[in-house]
Amino acid sequence: MIKKNFQDMELSSLGLGNMRLPTLSEGGAIDEVKARELIEYAYASGVNYFDTAFMYHGGKSESFVGKVLNQYPRESWYLASKMPGHSLRQSNGKLEFIGMLAGLPSMTVAEIFEEQLKRCGVDYFDFYMLHNVCETAYDIYTNEELGIVNYLLEQKKAGRIRHLGFSAHGRADTIENFLNLYNCFEFVQIQLNYMDWKLQDAAKKYEVITNHGIPVIVMEPVRGGQLVSLDEQAHSMLKEARPNDTIASWAFRFLQSLPNIPVVLSGMSNMEQLKENLALFSNPDPTTDAENELLQKVVATMADMVPCTGCRYCCDGCPQKLNIPKLISMYNEMTNAMHFSLQFTLNAMKEHELPTACIACGACSELCPQNIDIPDIMKKFEAELLKRKR
């Protein structure tokens, strides 16, 4: 197992994500026999980083993972969990759960944290995160009266959190603003893979975090399985380049080519996936520059994207002051498999920021070096939004 340094720790470069443990039925209870076998095999093979969260498997992931790991010496494994602030809102002076956690009894931030320690059967978390810093959760996490960040810093000072970070499905500028506001975070976890490198602008997110001198922990390396089963054309392109490699290996090798990544999390749900990934992370074999170019050609066969380079010349001529590159990026994402993270961004945007604010004057197109018909893209984006509201 390849090991990477993180401050005073030596972390396995492959981490086990515990959001997709094997279940007894689709969406059902954890199959504890198979899930235990996975975690124990991963640990015996050198994996020492285990990630869970308050909401995974209906709240059962934390307690199950803690139960299995606690059979081993506490100093031999590292546990990561998350504060579900993205699923909280303030109402009548109280915190209420929303979204997937709607209906749970109201809890304070302190009660949530204490419950997580109890579930996991630990006295401290090695890694602890704000869960999903995004546009709709930004105000909760930055609310000084609520004081989530300050509370967690107190827990860190007390030794109950060793390293504090956050996960994010927000856009690059949201991550940038959050890191500029707080200088206390030691790592950031983002969705990163060769498809989202451009589609979700993960390249920019990686750059922003790296420029702050903070390591990136990766989630969704194979995009929830999408990069394991490619269409015929994409599959053939990769097999022609490396006939003996699995399709999944390209996703992990791509991540090995990025230097600021100590851990890649994989939500492995069966032993076959685990054994393949263990082999991939036992001998480093990062993709070359030529192979990364090939991967982007593969993505181009899978996703029909507007070729915006983000130069922002168009913004200078827009009388509505629209952030056109951002809107085009969102349009590309929406029209190539809508991802839940995009909905967070849309929900937080004001009417004057949406494509509906475009007056189709054409000033932007005259300034676009790529000759993109921007008013037409805004019209199509508006139509997509209306279609999805129905």
Which tens digits make up the pLDDT trace of 3-58?
999 999 999 999 999 999 999 988 889 999 999 999 999 999 999 999 999 999 99
Q: 3-state DSSP call for residue 325? A: helix
**For residue 353, what pLDDT is reported?**
93
Q: 3-state DSSP call for residue 124? A: coil
Query: Taking 80 as the threshold, does the pLDDT of residue 117 lie above it?
Result: yes
**For residue 90, what pLDDT is reported?**
85
**For residue 93, what pLDDT is reported?**
73
| Cβ atoms within 10 Å, residue 265 | 21
CA distance 302 to 196: 12
For the entire predicted model, the pTM comes to 0.85
What mean pLDDT is predicted for residues 105-125? 96
> What is the rounded (10 degree) CA torsion for 60, 63, 68, 73?
150
| Range of weakest confidence among 51-55, 246-250, 333-337, 338-342 | 338-342
Q: Which residues lie below 8 Å from residue 233, measured CB to CB, with a gap of 6+?
A: 301
Secondary structure letter of residue 357 according to DSSP: G
> How many CA atoms does the CB half-sphere of 267 hold within 13 Å?
20
pLDDT confidence tier of residue 302, bands split at 50, 70 and 90? confident
What mean pLDDT is predicted for residues 228-252? 95
Percent of the chain, pLDDT > 70? 98
CA distance 165 to 34: 30
The crossing angle, in degrees rounded to 10, of helices 340-348 and 324-334 is 140
pLDDT digits (tens, 9 = 90+) for 126-156: 999 999 999 989 999 999 999 999 999 999 9
Backbone φ and ψ of 337, nearest 5°? 75, 90
Query: Is residue 186 within 8 Å of residue 163, measured between CB atoms?
Result: yes
- Closest C-alpha among 217, 191, 205, 176 to residue 9: 217
**For residue 339, what pLDDT is reported?**
66
pLDDT confidence tier of residue 100, bands split at 50, 70 and 90? confident
CA distance 73 to 75: 6
pLDDT digits (tens, 9 = 90+) for 196-207: 998 889 999 999
Percent of the chain, pLDDT > 90? 76
CA distance 121 to 66: 6
Query: Taking 80 as the threshold, does the pLDDT of residue 390 lie above it?
Result: no
What mean pLDDT is predicted for residues 217-238? 92
Query: Taking 60 as the threshold, does the pLDDT of residue 338 lie above it?
Result: no
What mean pLDDT is predicted for residues 295-314? 84
**For residue 345, what pLDDT is reported?**
84
